[in-house]
Structure 1
């Protein structure tokens, strides 16, 4: 009779252990996703450095340069929401940042088809009068958080 108890206990334990191992393995598979890799830039895409550092032109002032793109605001889905444009000042001194919504910009290629020409339907005065854009993390640093 003593041999039957361990045999019954062992018989009951094997399915329980298999279930536990299967559950752990299933959880592991759902949280680990294999990376995919690119070897070339996909058609219809560009790198951020194609925008940052570029001059923004005004479509209302005969394509006059009105600022320089200093940063991009990208959401968690990877979509560009806005570009941050440095306006005013001289050689970066006295310049302020203004965020322009992505949909407000027009991107075209230059005559050689290599670089983007970025235009916005606003004047330099309008950008200088716009409210300054500040990053949340910059405000947190100022508050000491």
Structure 2
């Protein structure tokens, strides 16, 4: 009986360490397994994060490149429109300048033709009709006013703008507007009857003077009382 109990105790004592070792090994294996798996899981997570970051970076770079291309395309379009607008304005300005130049040329031609016509009208040549003397009673202030006047070279110098009569009602002097052009810049000067030769040409009263244009321009300006 004692021998049997002793054997049983030996069996239990021998089995307990065995179970204890088994448990320790199981625990160690579990911890080792956890320790081994945990770094693997962390590395995988870091790899996933890195991959996602690279993917996001690639997407941002692609979007930035697309935006840059759009901005560049818009800038080129604006530059093209601005260039076209500048060319159109330049063409319009050139056309306007040409039109103004043409109008100025036409006006100059018209003015020259008008001056020639006036010269022909107021400066008859030597072959034209001679100046006829006035009949008695034709030399009146009303008839003289507005009469065209010519200098010693038979060039038109102005018109009679005013007639001065004496107390007897006779013409004493005339005021002639000389100089200027087409009524602009004229100066009134006084000429006595001794400086004048008055007659008629083709029925119109004409006033001639022996003074030259330079002498007329040198006369003082007439001041009415």
Normalising by structure 1, report the TM-score.
0.57
- The runs of at least 4 aligned residues of structure 1 exceeding 3 Å deviation read none
Is residue 100 from structure 1 mapped to residue 224 from structure 2 by the alignment? no
Structure 1: runs of 5+ lacking an equivalent: 1-42, 137-145
Match of residue 32 from structure 1? none
Distance in 2, matches of 1:49 and 1:81, equals 14
Distance in 2, matches of 1:49 and 1:83, equals 12
Where relative contact order (Cα < 8 A, 6+ residues apart) is larger, the structure is: 1
CA contact (8 A) 1:73 1:83 kept: yes
Structure 2: runs of 5+ lacking an equivalent: 1-134
Of 185, 209, 221, the residue aligned with 1:120 is 209
- Deviation at residue 92 of structure 1 after TM alignment: 2.1
Match of residue 129 from structure 1? 218
Distance in 1, matches of 2:164 and 2:173, equals 5
- Deviation at residue 130 of structure 1 after TM alignment: 0.7
Higher radius of gyration, 1 or 2: 2
Match of residue 147 from structure 2? 54
Is residue 45 from structure 1 mapped to residue 137 from structure 2 by the alignment? yes
Normalising by structure 2, report the TM-score.
0.38
Question: Higher helix proportion, which one?
Answer: 2
Distance in 2, matches of 1:52 and 1:109, equals 14
Distance in 1, matches of 2:180 and 2:218, equals 13
Distance in 2, matches of 1:108 and 1:75, equals 21
Question: Higher strand proportion, which one?
Answer: 1
Deviations 1:66-110 (A, max 9, x none): 111000011122121100000111222221100000122111221
Q: How many residues align?
A: 90
